[in-house]
Amino acid sequence: MGILPYVVVAWVLVCGLYGIATSRHLVHQIICLVVVQSSTYVLLLSVGYKLGGIAPYFSDVPAHVRAVDPVVQALTLTDVVVEAAVTALLLAFAIQAKKRFGTVDPLELRQLRG
């Protein structure tokens, strides 16, 4: 149990990297980047977890109850927002690549540029 979350992180990370390396479509490649980035969410959240801790929301529990780390959760939120921004920009570039070069295959794109 102790290292299981970190194994999951590594697994998700490697899956995404494998997808990026072998991808034959720009949109597929962008989605793989999202997968890579989701491994960082798992890492951040599992680093901040405390055994038996509750979510850091004290609406109906007293303030001294043991709760998980809110700082890494806020960082994860930032991570998600940045990922959304990056994905949107990359998708726009993918459309541009399709229009300019007529292909969305990263390998063919490389050939075109010579």
Partner 1 sequence: MASFYLWGMTGLPPFGTYRGPYGTIVNRVSVPDTHATGVVSVVNFVFRGFDTVGEEFILFVAAVGVALVLRHLREDEEVEGKDAAPGLDVPPTSEAVRLIALAFTGPTLVVGWFLATHAQTDPSGGFQGGVVIASAVVLIYLAGQYLSFRRLNPVDVLDSVEAAGAGGFVGVGLGTLAVSAPYLADVVPLGRVNGAVDAGGTIPFISLCVGVEVTAAFLLITSELLEQTLFLKEG
From the number of C-beta atoms within 10 Å of its C-beta (0-12, 13-18, 19+), residue 26 rates as: buried
Instruction: Based on the shown chain and the rule CB under 8 A, indicate whether residue 112 belongs to the binding site for partner 1.
Output: no
How many other C-beta atoms are found inside a 10 Å radius of the C-beta of residue 16?
19
Site membership for partner 1, residue 5 (CB under 8 A) = yes
- Residue 51 near partner 1 by CB under 8 A: yes
Residue 105 in tokens: 């295959």
Task: With contacts defined by CB under 8 A, name the span among 26-34, 64-72, 103-111 that binds partner 1.
Answer: 64-72
Closest alpha carbon to 47 in 103, 6, 98: 6
Verify binding: residue 46, partner 1, rule CB under 8 A: yes
Tell me how long the chain is.
114
Among 34, 35, 68, 109, binds partner 1 (CB under 8 A): 68
How far apart are alpha carbons 38 and 16 in whole angstroms?
A: 9
Q: How many residues bind partner 1 (CB under 8 A)?
A: 44
- Which chain residues interact with partner 1 by CB under 8 A? 1-6, 10, 46-51, 55-59, 63-64, 67-74, 77-78, 80-82, 84-86, 88-89, 91-93, 95-96, 99
